[in-house]
């Protein structure tokens, strides 16, 4: 059970056009496993270092264990986890993690998208929807995205949505077998007074 005072705006379902977002569901396990296994080469360079092989970490059983842990953290008010569906098919995840309330009211943005739908603006749309939810019903003020310097497409995604560069974090996270530098980007609620989705729509129509 989620205390709305502890975690405003959660649980939630978001949608616009072909993109839907919902909390992780138990029935997503098989589909999530298939998508993650098919995207190993696409995703592994940006994932945290792990002792177990990719295949072992992406079974339906691994998904169910991950889901239980994530939903416990969501109930505690420290994360907003969403599964992304594009035209009804599971195609990624967007998460606002490390949520801090009080004077900071901040969270860290993370996301991944199925390679088969990359390049169509679907990841940007999904992130825009989650940002607007975080700033609105979620009552956050700041979202931070930390991205490896080598990941140009991900940097482009957040910059198109209005995130601003705030500097270099040296050897910040243990990713793909080593401590990696990250560039940090941030978006404040007042940076998008008309909403992040409206910014995405303006770029998409232009």
Average pLDDT over residues 141-145: 98
pLDDT at residue 205, as a whole number? 82
Cβ–Cβ < 8 Å for 25, 93: no
57-115 pLDDT, tens digit per residue, is: 999 999 999 999 999 999 999 999 999 999 999 999 999 999 999 999 999 999 999 99
In the chain, where are the structural domains located?
14-205
pLDDT level of residue 1 (50, 70, 90 thresholds)? low
Query: What is the band of 204 on the pLDDT scale with cuts at 50, 70, 90?
Result: confident
Find the helix or strand (DSSP H, E) in which 146 lies: strand 142-147
Please report where in the chains the tokens 């496993």 appear, as a residue.
33
What is the pLDDT confidence band of residue 7, given thresholds at 50, 70 and 90?
confident
The rounded percent of the chain whose pLDDT value lies above 90 is 94
**What rounded mean pLDDT belongs to the chain?**
96
| The pair of three-digit structure tokens given for residue 22, joined into one six-digit string | 């919902």
> Cβ neighbours of residue 166 under 8 Å, at least 6 residues apart?
144, 184, 185, 186
- What is the residue-wise DSSP string for 56-107? HHTSHHHHHHHHHHHHHHHHTTS-EEEEEEETTEEEEEEEEEEEE-TTT-EE
Long-range contacts of 30-36 (CB under 8 A, 24+ apart): 30/60, 31/89, 31/90, 32/58, 32/60, 32/63, 32/83, 32/90, 33/58, 33/59, 33/60, 33/62, 33/63, 35/90, 35/91, 35/92, 35/114
Which residues fall within 8 angstroms of residue 63, CB to CB, at 6 or more apart?
A: 24, 28, 29, 32, 33
> Class for domain 14-205, per CATH?
alpha beta
């Amino acid at each position: 059970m989620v205390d709305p005072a502890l975690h405003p705006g959660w649980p939630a379902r978001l949608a616009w056009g072909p993109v839907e977002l919902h909390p992780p569901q138990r029935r997503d396990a098989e589909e999530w496993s298939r998508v993650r296994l098919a995207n190993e080469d696409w995703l592994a360079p940006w994932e945290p270092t792990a002792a177990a092989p990719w295949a072992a970490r992406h079974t339906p059983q691994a998904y169910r264990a991950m889901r239980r842990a994530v939903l416990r953290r969501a109930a505690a008010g420290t994360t907003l986890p969403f599964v992304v569906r594009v035209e009804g098919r599971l195609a990624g995840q967007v998460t606002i993690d490390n949520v801090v309330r009080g004077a900071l009211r901040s969270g860290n943005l993370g996301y991944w998208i199925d390679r088969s739908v990359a390049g169509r603006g679907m990841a940007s749309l999904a992130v825009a929807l989650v940002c607007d939810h975080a700033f609105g019903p979620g009552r956050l003020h700041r979202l931070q995205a930390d991205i490896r310097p080598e990941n140009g497409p991900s940097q482009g995604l957040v910059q198109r949505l209005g995130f601003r560069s705030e500097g270099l974090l040296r050897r910040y996270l243990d990713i793909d077998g080593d401590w990696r530098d990250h560039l940090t980007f941030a978006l404040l609620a007042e940076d998008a007074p008309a909403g992040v989705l409206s910014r995405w729509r303006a770029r998409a129509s232009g």
